[in-house]
């Protein structure tokens, strides 16, 4: 009961401090990438931003199966229910960059930091622009970079697996990049879609990231994208008994 009572002021304080922390890390990212571009330094800023965000709200992260991830460039796909999916994965799954909705890039300082970090701008309703971004990212994957995309396209209201969109799978096929599915459990309870107060009334919660074995996309053509999409979704479905 005591920790529950303490969680309320902790959440309020964290909610006030998180934007300040985010602006600081974003400005630092801009500064570092202009003065001394270095992927290792950029990753440290990402880890600092996301791990401190989890710490602020009493969020613990457990990773299972990370050793199964491929070496070189690949694409994470994950079930998306909360902003804390982003914090947990960015903080604890190594070096990679997310795809984020393009509207976020308009936010002063934060948007600049995302752009300098190499986050992919995704214009959800402008398919041609999205595939132009994917085409440019293919070269980065060939150079060993890694990305993460939510195949559902947006956050789900509950911890389930929504319908998949085709974009990430076409991207992976064209890039000849393995797809590494990630099962995110626990993030929805911390900050579900529509909520602005993480872990309200709860002192600590745990997010579990289960990294499944990589799926080879080199054996698929773009015309076979539906089969690849169904295969990956079927690998993830057993973790979501209520999903269809």
pLDDT for 82 beyond 90: yes
Q: What is the pLDDT of residues 200-225, one digit of tens each?
A: 999 999 999 999 999 999 999 999 99
* Contacting residues for 138 by C-beta, under 8 A, at least 6 apart: 171, 174, 175
pLDDT at residue 73 in the model: 93
Backbone angles phi, psi at 196, to 5 degrees: -125, 5
Residue 38: left (phi > 0), alpha (psi -120 to 50), or beta? Answer: beta
* Contacting residues for 201 by C-beta, under 8 A, at least 6 apart: 4, 7, 8
Q: What is the pLDDT of residues 107-126, one digit of tens each?
A: 999 999 999 999 999 987 78
This prediction's pTM = 0.93
Counting residues of the chain whose pLDDT is more than 90, the rounded percentage is 82
Q: What is the pLDDT of residues 83-102, one digit of tens each?
A: 999 999 999 999 999 999 99
Instruction: Please state the rounded mean pLDDT for residues 14-18.
Output: 97
Distances (CA, A) of 125 to 128, 130, 168: 9, 9, 15
Cβ–Cβ < 8 Å for 119, 50? no
Which range among 12-26, 68-82, 211-225 shows the weakest confidence by mean pLDDT? 68-82
Q: Which sign does the torsion angle of CA 157, 164, 127, 216 carry?
A: positive
- Domain range annotation of the chain: 2-239
* Highest mean pLDDT of the ranges 2-6, 28-32, 64-68: 28-32
Please give the torsion angle defined by the CA atoms of residues 94, 96, 97 and 98, in that order, rounded to the nearest 10 degrees.
Answer: -70
Q: Three-state DSSP class for 132?
A: helix
Q: Residue 76 and residue 144: Cα distance in Å, rounded?
A: 13
pLDDT at residue 214 in the model: 95
- Count CB-CB contacts under 10 A for residue 132: 12
Confidence of residue 232 (pLDDT cuts 50, 70, 90): very high
Q: What is the pLDDT of residues 126-138, one digit of tens each?
A: 888 888 999 999 9
pLDDT for 244 beyond 80: no
Q: Residue 83 and residue 190: Cα distance in Å, rounded?
A: 9
Q: Residue 114 and residue 216: Cα distance in Å, rounded?
A: 29
> Domain 2-239 falls in which CATH fold?
Glycerol-3-phosphate (1)-acyltransferase (3.40.1130)
Q: Which sign does the torsion angle of CA 224, 213, 114, 55 carry?
A: positive
Confidence of residue 69 (pLDDT cuts 50, 70, 90): confident
């Amino acid at each position: 009961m005591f920790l529950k009572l303490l969680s309320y002021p902790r959440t309020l304080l964290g909610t006030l401090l998180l934007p300040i922390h985010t602006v600081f890390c974003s400005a630092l990212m801009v500064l570092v990438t202009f003065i001394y571009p270095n992927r290792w330094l950029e990753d440290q800023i990402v880890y600092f931003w996301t791990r401190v965000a989890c710490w602020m709200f009493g969020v613990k992260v457990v990773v299972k199966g990370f050793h199964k991830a491929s070496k070189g460039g690949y694409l994470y796909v994950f079930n998306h229910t909360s902003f804390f999916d982003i914090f947990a994965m960015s903080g604890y799954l190594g070096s990679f960059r997310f795809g984020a909705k393009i509207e976020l890039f308009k936010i002063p300082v934060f948007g600049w930091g995302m752009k300098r970090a190499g986050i992919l701008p995704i214009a959800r309703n402008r398919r041609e622009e999205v595939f132009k971004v994917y085409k440019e990212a293919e070269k980065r994957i060939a150079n060993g970079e890694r990305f993460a995309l939510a195949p559902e396209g947006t956050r789900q209201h509950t911890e389930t697996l929504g319908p998949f969109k085709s974009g990430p799978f076409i991207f992976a096929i064209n890039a000849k990049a393995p797809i590494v599915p990630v099962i995110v459990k626990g993030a929805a309870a911390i900050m579900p879609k529509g909520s602005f107060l993480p872990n309200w009334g709860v002192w600590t919660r745990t997010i579990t990231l289960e990294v499944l074995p990589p799926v080879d996309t080199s054996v698929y053509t773009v015309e076979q994208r539906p089969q690849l999409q169904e295969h990956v979704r079927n690998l993830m479905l057993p973790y979501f008994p209520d999903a269809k």
